[in-house]
């Protein structure tokens, strides 16, 4: 639903921080200074906040159910990495500190090159022969 990350982050900040803070502030100041109709003002802020939360939750569910959140996939066959395929058509990965990969165990593509393992097993240590007593 909400396609732009900046818009989503702004609305999430409003729903989680700003609107509850404004509601609490108005309710407190209304009690101290006698501001008009605190129940109606805070009730309105709460209803808007709940509706915004519903929109954000729905947007998050749609996003998480799609492949949009992935920067590529890691193809695995018999628990071994076969290949890593990144989708970087527009240079989006240039400004990222981390990437999210989807594990793909069903592939029909031909492997063109082998991928080096990320973590290599340590080489076994040579043991010195035991001395007989």
| 13-62 pLDDT per residue, tens | 999 999 999 999 999 999 999 999 999 999 999 999 999 999 999 999 99
Same-domain check for residues 77 and 53:
no
Q: pTM for the complete prediction?
A: 0.67
Same-domain check for residues 61 and 73:
no
Give the range of the structural domain holding residue 97, as residue numbers without chain letter. 69-116
Angstrom distance (rounded) from CA 128 to CA 58: 64
Q: For strands 80-86 and 72-77, give the pairing.
A: antiparallel
Q: Give the pLDDT of residue 73.
A: 86
Within 10 A of 74 (CB to CB), how many other CB atoms are there?
Answer: 17
Residues 106 and 75 sit within 8 Å (Cβ to Cβ): no
Tell me if 91 is assigned to some domain: yes
Backbone torsions φ then ψ of 120, nearest 5 degrees: -100, 140
Same-domain check for residues 21 and 54:
yes
Same-domain check for residues 16 and 55:
yes
- List pLDDT tens digits, range 3-12: 888 999 999 9
Q: Give the pLDDT of residue 97.
A: 84
- List pLDDT tens digits, range 71-123: 888 888 877 878 888 887 667 677 778 888 888 886 555 555 555 555 555 55
């Amino acid at each position: 639903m909400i396609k732009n990350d900046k818009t989503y982050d702004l609305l999430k900040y409003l729903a989680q921080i700003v609107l509850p803070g404004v509601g609490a502030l108005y309710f407190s100041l209304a009690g101290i200074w006698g501001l008009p109709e605190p129940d109606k003002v805070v009730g309105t802020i709460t209803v808007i906040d709940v509706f915004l939360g519903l929109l954000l939750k729905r947007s998050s569910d749609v996003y998480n159910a799609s492949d949009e959140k992935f920067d590529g996939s890691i193809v695995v066959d018999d628990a071994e990495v076969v290949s890593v395929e990144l989708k970087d058509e527009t240079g989006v990965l240039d400004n990222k500190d981390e990437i999210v990969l989807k594990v793909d165990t069903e592939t029909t593509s031909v492997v063109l090159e082998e991928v080096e393992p990320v973590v290599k097993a340590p080489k076994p240590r040579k043991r010195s022969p035991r001395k007989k007593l």
